[in-house]
Structure 1
Amino acid sequence: MQLTVNGKRHDLDVEPEMPLLWVLRDELGILGPKYGCGAGLCGACTVHVDGSAVRSCSITAGEVRGNVITIEGLGTPSNPHVVQQAWIDHQVAQCGYCQSGQMMTAAAFLSKTAEPSESQISDAMSGNLCRCGTYTRIHSAVKTAAQMTKGK
């Protein structure tokens, strides 16, 4: 089976039924997507497949069609994605466990919604859980990222 992850093609010897999350973490050593609930409810495992946010624990490797982007492929330390920069600016992370999934959800949302309202931001991010409760900072960071994107 072949998968393209963060722009690099991988030939893998895995069963098509293996969850994408396990392929990323166990087979490719990509640790940004986290195991949270295993049922697609918390968002810690969120990645992009062809630009759409998907829960990698709930999609099998065999179902993937297109390029997979993880938090590692979203930006670089020297050139962070606007969402990553907004997260830094707002000091969002506490424990950090959910943050890669939060950022991947935000980036996919902002790629489709250029000037989101407060309620659209709340709705878009409502499926991602944060045990530390940094929701106010997450919301502010998404709003800032939208403004940064608009300014480009």
Structure 2
Amino acid sequence: MMHDGRHDFAFQTGDWRVRHRKLSERLAGSDDWFEFDGTCRGWELIGGAGNVDDHWLDDPHGAYAAATVRRTDPATGLWSIWWLDSRFPGLAPPLQGGFEGGVGTFFGQDDHAGRPIDIRFIWSEITESGARWEQAFSADGGMTWEVNWIMAFTRA
């Protein structure tokens, strides 16, 4: 029987301290990173077939609120993920993917600095007390990836 994806994000339910590490310039060959703290509260929706997390990010370039909305398709077990950011109107284009072997991998497309890019999210190192999320961009159709943002979650 195929796994329908329900409760894949149940690990995120509750309150978290988040340590952010962001690349100063994306897709520019930079290796200059900056770090800051934040918080996150996550919860399931619609019987585990949906998930929301609400973030506060103390970014030194300007603190802001953001959220993620996720929904699984029980027919395929694949999740769609939308990022909402208080600095920008609307929703970012969704990423899609799922979990295998305790690691969640999700892909999508967007644009960066006026050019189309591929985006990858990876959820890993998931335990009762922590988790790791990373974002990477590719400007060459997914041949190479540049990790540009890492969140280290610690249970509050």
With the length of structure 1 as denominator, give the TM-score of the two structures.
0.28
Structure having the larger proportion of residues in helix = 1
TM-score by length of 2: 0.28
Q: Which has the higher strand share?
A: 2
